[in-house]
Amino acid sequence: MPKKKRIADKNERLPSPMFDMGTMPYIEMLGNRRITVEGSTGVLLYDSENIKINTCKTVISFCGRGMKLKCISSSCVEIEGFVTDINFLS
């Protein structure tokens, strides 16, 4: 008799498909108006049209209009403004 496949109970937590990101930055966006970058190691450039954030693995460039740094901590940066472009630089 063949084995039946086990189906998870609706209350049972399934394994997450996420992989271990290690030192990769975590980026959260609220539309194109607010961005939070966790895992930053510093701000390389800051003006009203371009903000460059350094991370362990890459530099992330945010371009737009009215760009402002709303919050900076030792590993997190919050950006507000009208974001038109995001680039990952090696």
Counting Cβ atoms within 10 Å, is residue 54 exposed (0-12), middle (13-18) or buried (19+)?
Answer: middle
Q: What is the C-alpha separation between 52 and 61, in angstroms, rounded?
A: 4
Which domains are delineated in the chain? 26-89 (2.60.40.2000)
Answer yes or no: are the C-beta atoms of 79 and 67 closer than 8 Å: yes
Q: What is the pTM of this model?
A: 0.74
Residues 8-53: pLDDT tens digits?
Answer: 555 665 554 444 556 789 999 999 999 999 999 999 999 999 999 9
